[in-house]
């Protein structure tokens, strides 16, 4: 017995298992990192208006819900790794209605648009390779790059220009022998900026000249306003081997929890490579596939009503934000996000304070701090992203809370303090 006690393994803090370098450097999501503070605010009885996350409150189409309720297969089985042919054929028909000529063999179905982005990166960039991304950008691009030891080379766009595409010289200056791709979101999450056909032609010239892939996240394709037109990178002639689109049903059909997206490219070698990643993770969900196949039959009237509602919400939010003293917010032409500059010294501290220490008649607002949407350090620290995914009554209340909070926040910028 004494011998056994002497040979028991000893615990030593110096030899504890260590977290990976990737795990240490991957950034926390600015969209979700303040959730514990929101949960605590709710436990204290506060009403929290969630403008931090792009979770639409629009009802999911009945045909999708019916497809789930009426699922009749006796086995919830694997699907094909690239997605069932029947679904890819319906997707090709959807793209055809959008004016995009794509075949089912150009599509790999993924578990959400997020997996499409990750697979696209991993299939084209090795550890240490670089992807150029205009910022502010969808925060998880930084996280996906960290997973693959990929270097993000940010090119900053500015609120004063409405977050337009930076000049071509900025891209050319950022390109090195390690650069393999450029990634944009069109329309943009988080700014709502809609890239013009001329801007896409500029990017075309850059990627052809330097032999780069051009990734375009087109999840918000339908969400354009003021008579503007979305131009898909898949329709830019000459980019057949360069263009890669990441897409999702999440926002289009208010089905974020279905977690179903796709990667689309006419580059056959890329599609074959992405398929190997898809095989390694086995397959997309058969239940989500059933729902998605049904939603592709939703009539145009559904999307027309959705766009009209978002356009009305956008007008209310942007007008309301720019009425608040010290707030600056460009008018987004697409998606359902606004990216605003606040009269505070640190937006993350302000967002946390709004949840922890403030309420207006028992209500407060949750926003996403803007710095998390940049890869450049010390950038966007007085900015926030707001998603206009709530009904107009709730949006109006959220604006009241924001204005009331800014009026009493103890850490306003010096310029704003002088005006109060």
Question: For the residues of 260-321, what is the DSSP string, one character each?
Answer: -EEEE-S-HHHHHHHHHHHHHT----HHHHHHHHHHTT--HHHHHHHHHHHHHHHHHHHHHH
- In the chain, ranges of CATH 3.90.1150.10 domains: 16-58+301-419
The architecture that CATH gives domain 62-295 is: 3-Layer(aba) Sandwich (3.40)
Provide DSSP, 30-75. TTTTTHHHHHHHHHTT-EEEE-SS----SPPPHHHHHHHHT---SS
H or E segment to which residue 173 belongs: helix 168-174
Mean pLDDT of 61-87: 96
CA nearest neighbour of 111 among 361, 281, 264: 281
Strands in 124-208 per DSSP E: 130-135, 151-156, 179-185
H or E segment to which residue 121 belongs: helix 112-124
Residue 180: phi and psi, rounded to 5, are -125, -15
The helix/strand/coil state of 361 is: coil
pLDDT tens-digit profile of 250-286? Answer: 999 999 999 999 999 999 999 999 999 999 999 999 9
35, 123, 144, 217 from 269: Cα distances, Å = 41, 10, 22, 20
pLDDT confidence tier of residue 7, bands split at 50, 70 and 90: low
Rounded Cα–Cα distance for residues 233 and 245 (Å): 8
62, 163, 176 from 210: Cα distances, Å = 47, 24, 9
Q: Going by CATH, does the domain composed of 16-58+301-419 fall within 3.90.1150.10?
A: yes
pTM value is 0.92
Q: Which two tokens stand for residue 84?
A: 């069932």
CB distance 373 to 33 below 8 Å: no
pLDDT at 381 exceeding the cut of 60: yes
253, 255, 303, 332 from 309: Cα distances, Å = 14, 17, 10, 15
pLDDT at 329 exceeding the cut of 70: yes
Place of tokens 């005006």: 419
Q: What is the pLDDT of residue 31?
A: 83
Strands in 88-189 per DSSP E: 107-110, 130-135, 151-156, 179-185
Rounded Cα–Cα distance for residues 132 and 105 (Å): 28
- The whole-angstrom distance between residue 170's C-alpha and the CA centroid of its chain comes to 24
Mean pLDDT of 381-400: 98
Q: Which two tokens stand for residue 115?
A: 């997996």
- In the chain, ranges of CATH 3.40.640.10 domains: 62-295
pLDDT tens-digit profile of 314-323? Answer: 999 999 999 9
Q: How many CB atoms lie within 10 A of CB 167?
A: 11
Provide DSSP, 287-302. HHHHHHHHHTT--HHH
pLDDT tens-digit profile of 187-208? Answer: 999 999 999 999 999 999 999 9
Q: What is the pLDDT of residue 14?
A: 61
Cis peptide leading into 133, omega within 30 of 0?
Answer: no
Sign (positive or negative) of CA dihedral 392, 395, 399, 404 = positive
Q: What is the pLDDT of residue 30?
A: 81
Q: Which two tokens stand for residue 396?
A: 């109006």
pLDDT tens-digit profile of 201-248? Answer: 999 999 999 999 999 999 999 999 999 999 999 999 999 999 999 999
Greatest alpha-carbon span in the chain: 84
């Amino acid at each position: 017995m004494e011998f056994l006690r002497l040979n028991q393994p000893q615990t030593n803090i110096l030899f504890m298992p260590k977290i990976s370098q990737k795990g240490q450097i991957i950034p926390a999501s600015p969209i979700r990192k303040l959730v514990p503070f929101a949960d605590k605010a709710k436990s204290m009885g506060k009403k929290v208006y969630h403008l931090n996350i792009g979770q639409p409150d629009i009802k999911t189409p009945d045909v999708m819900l019916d497809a789930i309720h009426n699922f009749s297969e006796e086995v919830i089985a694997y699907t094909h790794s690239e997605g069932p042919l029947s679904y890819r054929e319906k997707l090709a028909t959807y793209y055809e209605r959008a004016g995009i000529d794509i075949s089912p063999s150009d599509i790999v179905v993924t578990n959400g648009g997020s997996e499409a982005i990750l697979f696209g990166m991993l299939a084209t960039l090795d550890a240490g390779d670089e992807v150029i991304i205009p910022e502010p950008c969808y925060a998880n691009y930084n996280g996906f790059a960290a997973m693959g030891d990929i270097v993000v080379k940010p090119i900053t766009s500015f609120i004063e220009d409405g977050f337009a595409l930076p000049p071509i010289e900025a891209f050319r200056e950022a390109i090195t022998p390690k650069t393999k791709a450029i990634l944009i979101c069109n329309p943009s999450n988080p700014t709502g900026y809609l890239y013009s056909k001329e801007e896409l032609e500029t990017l075309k010239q850059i990627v052809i000249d330097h032999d780069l892939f051009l990734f375009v996240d087109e999840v918000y394709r339908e969400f354009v306003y003021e008579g503007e037109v979305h131009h898909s990178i898949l329709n830019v002639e000459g980019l057949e081997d360069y263009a890669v689109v990441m897409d999702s049903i999440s926002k289009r059909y208010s089905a974020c929890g279905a977690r179903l997206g796709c990667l689309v490219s006419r580059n056959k070698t890329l599609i074959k490579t992405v398929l190997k990643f898809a095989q390694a993770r086995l397959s997309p969900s058969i239940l989500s596939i059933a729902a998605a196949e049904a939603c592709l039959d939703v009539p145009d009237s559904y999307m027309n009503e959705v766009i009209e509602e978002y356009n009305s919400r956008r007008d209310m939010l942007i007008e309301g934000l720019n009425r608040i003293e010290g707030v600056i917010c460009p008018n987004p032409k697409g998606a359902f996000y606004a990216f605003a500059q606040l009269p505070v010294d640190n937006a993350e501290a302000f967002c946390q304070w709004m949840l922890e220490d403030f309420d207006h008649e028992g209500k407060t607002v949750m926003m996403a701090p803007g710095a998390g949407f940049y890869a450049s350090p010390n950038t966007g620290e007085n900015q926030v992203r707001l998603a206009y995914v709530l009904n107009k009554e709730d949006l109006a209340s959220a604006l009241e809370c924001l204005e009331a909070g800014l009026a009493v926040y103890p850490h306003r910028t010096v310029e704003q303090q002088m005006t109060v």
